[in-house]
Structure 1
């Protein structure tokens, strides 16, 4: 446990809505989801990034993911999903305890059809050539 990590705080687990869990990971939904049904798959052990997960934690994450998908397909019937891990500050990671974003996607949302790479491919995101 890391005292400064919100995902290692035992009180956080009491406040959050834990939907599906196994011995190594759990899925939580947040009070203000990105889209209906979205949430996070989080390993119970503190791992700073997805690259630090054990093989068993990857398997446990996959097992949670398939259960979450089945539940969301049954209850919300999304037309697609966006899944993602942010790694490092430059990669968008704000909490340095690995967590996978699970976001159901719907045809009637304003950004339907635009996935993770769409934002990265925009002209304003192009890197400037280094001067010699």
Structure 2
């Protein structure tokens, strides 16, 4: 189990069987539950039972059951609640607004005019073509 600032990892506790909010789906590898403060009706968190700090620490082996559970939950949310859209979000690190350092994927049903609003800026920052070219070259080289 991983440690969080100020105590035990709440997601490890939930995955270990401690009472949590509404548990919707579980397998030996993953758990899907409602967050304590949902953004929309049906907002669900899908997380590995094993402590994984963030997406960067996720192995390919652990990714498969997590991804399959995310897809299963997304389809169930669509069939049960009929949202206008869906966001699937994970954050890695505090700069990306990760507040619980245990990998979790938000499956967030969306409706036109809901309280969340736009996730992306209307216009992204402008980058010089040279900077984009260098970034692309570096990423391609890293990918091999």
Superposed pair shares fold, TM > 0.5: yes
The residue aligned with 1:22 is 27
Q: Please give the per-residue CA displacement for 1:14-63, whole angstroms capped at 9, x wherever unaligned.
A: 22211012221111112431100002111101111111112122111111
The residue aligned with 2:114 is 109
The yes-or-no answer on 1:93 pairing with 2:79 is: no
The yes-or-no answer on 1:118 pairing with 2:121 is: yes
1:34-45 to structure 2, matched below 5 A, reads: 34-45=39-50
The residue aligned with 2:52 is 47
Superposed CA RMSD: 2.3
- Alpha carbons of 1:119 and 1:44: their partners in 2 closer, same or farther (altered >3 Å)? farther
Instruction: Give the Cα–Cα distance (whole angstroms) in 2 for the partners of residues 5 and 98 of structure 1.
Output: 11
- Unaligned 5+ runs, structure 1: 123-132
- Please, what TM-score do these two structures have when normalized by structure 1? 0.78
- Please, what TM-score do these two structures have when normalized by structure 2? 0.72
**Deviation at residue 102 of structure 1 after TM alignment:** 1.0
Instruction: Give the Cα–Cα distance (whole angstroms) in 1 for the partners of residues 19 and 122 of structure 2.
Output: 35
Please say if residues 25 and 57 of structure 1, whose CA atoms lie closer than 8 Å, have aligned partners that are also in contact: no
3-state SS of the aligned residue for 2:19? Answer: helix
3-state SS of the aligned residue for 2:24? Answer: strand
3-state SS of the aligned residue for 1:51? Answer: helix
Runs of 4+ in 1 over 3 A off after TM superposition: 10-13, 119-122
Please say if residues 6 and 12 of structure 1, whose CA atoms lie closer than 8 Å, have aligned partners that are also in contact: no
Instruction: Give the Cα–Cα distance (whole angstroms) in 1 for the partners of residues 124 and 75 of structure 2.
Output: 31
- Alpha carbons of 1:17 and 1:90: their partners in 2 closer, same or farther (altered >3 Å)? same
- Unaligned 5+ runs, structure 2: 126-144
